[in-house]
Amino acid sequence: MADNTAFSLLKQRSIGTTRAVFQHALTGEPPHFNDQTPRSLYIHIPFCTHKCHYCDFYSIVDTRDRQEKFASRLVRELIAQSKLAPLPLRTIFVGGGTPSLLRPDLWTKILDALHDHFDMSLIDANEGEFSVECNPETVTQELAHVLRSGSVNRASLGAQSFNAAHLKTLERWHDPEKVSSAINTLQQAGIKRCSLDLIYAIPGQTIEHLNNDLQTALSMPIEHISAYALTYEPGTAMTARLVRGEFTQAPDELEAEMYDHTIATLRSNGFERYEVSNHAKPGAQCMHNLAYWRQQDWLAIGPSASGHFQQHRWKNTPRLDDYLNKDDEGFAPICDHEPPNARRELMDLLMTTIRLSEGTDAISVMKTADQLNASQKLMRAAIMCADQGWIRNANSERWTLSDEGFLFADRVAREFIGALIED
Ligand code: SF4
128 lines ligand 1 (CB under 6 A): no
Query: Is residue 318, in this structure, part of any structural domain at all?
Result: no
| Ranges assigned E (strand) in 179-271 | 193-200, 224-229
Do both 126 and 240 map to the same domain? yes
Do both 372 and 249 map to the same domain? no
Instruction: Give 362 Cα–ligand 1 centroid separation in angstroms.
Output: 37
Confidence tier at 63 by pLDDT (50, 70, 90): low
CB 38 within 8 A of CB 298: yes
Within 10 angstroms of residue 276's Cβ, the number of other Cβ atoms is 20
Which pLDDT does position 274 carry in this prediction? 98
Question: Is residue 122 predicted with pLDDT exceeding 70?
Answer: yes
Question: Is residue 2 predicted with pLDDT exceeding 60?
Answer: no
Question: Is residue 9 predicted with pLDDT exceeding 50?
Answer: no
Which pLDDT does position 36 carry in this prediction? 60
Instruction: Give 40 Cα–ligand 1 centroid separation in angstroms.
Output: 23
Instruction: Give 376 Cα–ligand 1 centroid separation in angstroms.
Output: 43
Instruction: Give 96 Cα–ligand 1 centroid separation in angstroms.
Output: 7
Do both 132 and 277 map to the same domain? yes
pLDDT tens, residue by residue, 145-199: 999 999 999 999 999 999 999 999 999 988 999 999 999 999 999 999 999 999 9
Confidence tier at 338 by pLDDT (50, 70, 90): confident
Query: Is residue 50, in this structure, part of any structural domain at all?
Result: yes
Confidence tier at 292 by pLDDT (50, 70, 90): very high
Question: Is residue 402 predicted with pLDDT exceeding 50?
Answer: yes
Query: Is residue 6, in this structure, part of any structural domain at all?
Result: no
**Closest ligand 1 atom to 96 CA:** 3
pTM of the full structure: 0.92
CB 354 within 8 A of CB 402: no
Which pLDDT does position 5 carry in this prediction? 41
3-state secondary structure of 87: coil
Query: Is residue 43, in this structure, part of any structural domain at all?
Result: yes
51 lines ligand 1 (CB under 6 A): yes
Do both 347 and 199 map to the same domain? no
7 lines ligand 1 (CB under 6 A): no
Do both 241 and 363 map to the same domain? no
CB 42 within 8 A of CB 299: yes
Instruction: Give 189 Cα–ligand 1 centroid separation in angstroms.
Output: 25
Instruction: Give 48 Cα–ligand 1 centroid separation in angstroms.
Output: 6
3-state secondary structure of 337: strand
Average pLDDT of the chain, as a whole number: 91
DSSP 328: B
Question: Is residue 143 predicted with pLDDT exceeding 70?
Answer: yes
98 lines ligand 1 (CB under 6 A): yes
Alpha-carbon gap, residue 396 to 384, rounded angstroms: 14
Alpha-carbon gap, residue 352 to 63, rounded angstroms: 36
Which pLDDT does position 327 carry in this prediction? 84
How far, CA to CA in Å, does 217 sit from each of 54, 128, 220, 289, 422? 21, 25, 6, 21, 46
Q: Whose CA is nearest to atom 7 of ligand 1?
A: 55
Q: In terms of Cα–Cα distance, which of 35, 112, 42, 117 is closest to 287?
A: 42
Which domain CATH number covers 400?
A: 1.10.10
Confidence tier at 4 by pLDDT (50, 70, 90): very low
Question: Is residue 87 predicted with pLDDT exceeding 50?
Answer: yes
156 lines ligand 1 (CB under 6 A): no
Instruction: Give 236 Cα–ligand 1 centroid separation in angstroms.
Output: 12
Which pLDDT does position 15 carry in this prediction? 38
CB 382 within 8 A of CB 399: yes
Boundary of a domain, candidates 293, 312, 329: 293
Ligand 1 mutation pick, 59, 137, 172, max ligand atoms within 8 A of CB: 59
Within 10 angstroms of residue 267's Cβ, the number of other Cβ atoms is 12
**Closest ligand 1 atom to 55 CA:** 8
Which pLDDT does position 27 carry in this prediction? 60
Do both 46 and 171 map to the same domain? yes
pLDDT tens, residue by residue, 13-25: 333 466 667 765 5
Q: Which residue has the higher pLDDT, 238 or 17?
A: 238
Query: Is residue 67, in this structure, part of any structural domain at all?
Result: yes
96 lines ligand 1 (CB under 6 A): yes
Q: Whose CA is nearest to atom 2 of ligand 1?
A: 97
Whether cis (ω within 30° of 0) applies to the bond prior to 405 is no
Averaged over 258-271, what is the pLDDT? 98
**Closest ligand 1 atom to 172 CA:** 6
Domain that holds residue 405: 341-423
Within 10 angstroms of residue 389's Cβ, the number of other Cβ atoms is 12
CB 251 within 8 A of CB 207: no
Number of domains observed in the structure of the chain: 2
Query: Is residue 321, in this structure, part of any structural domain at all?
Result: no
Do both 122 and 50 map to the same domain? yes
57 lines ligand 1 (CB under 6 A): yes
Boundary of a domain, candidates 293, 324, 351: 293
Do both 362 and 266 map to the same domain? no
pLDDT tens, residue by residue, 31-44: 555 656 789 999 99
97 lines ligand 1 (CB under 6 A): yes
Boundary of a domain, candidates 267, 293, 319: 293
Query: Is residue 306, in this structure, part of any structural domain at all?
Result: no
Do both 285 and 350 map to the same domain? no
**Closest ligand 1 atom to 56 CA:** 8
Question: Is residue 1 predicted with pLDDT exceeding 80?
Answer: no
**Closest ligand 1 atom to 135 CA:** 1
Confidence tier at 83 by pLDDT (50, 70, 90): confident
What count of Cα atoms within 13 Å lies in the side-chain half-sphere of residue 215? 7
Confidence tier at 8 by pLDDT (50, 70, 90): very low
Instruction: Give 384 Cα–ligand 1 centroid separation in angstroms.
Output: 39
Q: In terms of Cα–Cα distance, which of 100, 117, 92, 110 is closest to 42?
A: 92
Query: Is residue 323, in this structure, part of any structural domain at all?
Result: no
232 lines ligand 1 (CB under 6 A): no
Which domain CATH number covers 242?
A: 3.20.20.70
Instruction: Give 59 Cα–ligand 1 centroid separation in angstroms.
Output: 7
| Residues paired with residue 312 on neighbouring β-strands, in sequence order | 309
